[in-house]
């Protein structure tokens, strides 16, 4: 199990082969990083909304196709769930 050792106030070192260095980031760079992160999250949100809308439209189309098939061929396709 790795142990953590605090070196100076700007770096943290893991004992063993892995060394992690955390430096103070200038505020301007941090702002740029956060702006990039916001852009990425906005793209992910837009993609998720698109996929959700597409899934809704797909479900509606399948419902219409099932209705047409039931009327055209006079066969029940959907299960009739009866309350117990």
pLDDT in tens, the chain (84 residues): 444 444 444 555 555 565 555 678 888 999 999 999 999 999 999 999 999 999 999 999 999 999 999 999 998 888 775 666
User: What's the confidence (pLDDT) of residue 24?
Assistant: 82
What are 79's two structure tokens? Answer: 């299960």
User: What's the confidence (pLDDT) of residue 15?
Assistant: 53
CA dihedral for 70, 75, 79, 80, sign (positive or negative): positive
Whether the CB-CB separation of 49 and 62 falls below 8 Å is answered with no
């Amino acid at each position: 199990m790795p142990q953590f050792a605090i070196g100076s106030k700007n770096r943290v070192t893991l004992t063993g082969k892995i060394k992690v260095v955390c430096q103070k980031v200038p505020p301007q760079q941090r702002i740029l990083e956060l702006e990039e992160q916001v852009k990425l999250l906005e793209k992910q949100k837009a993609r998720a909304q698109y996929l959700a809308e597409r899934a809704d439209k797909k479900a509606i189309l399948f419902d219409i196709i099932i209705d047409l098939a039931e009327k055209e061929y006079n066969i029940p396709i959907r299960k009739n769930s009866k309350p117990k």
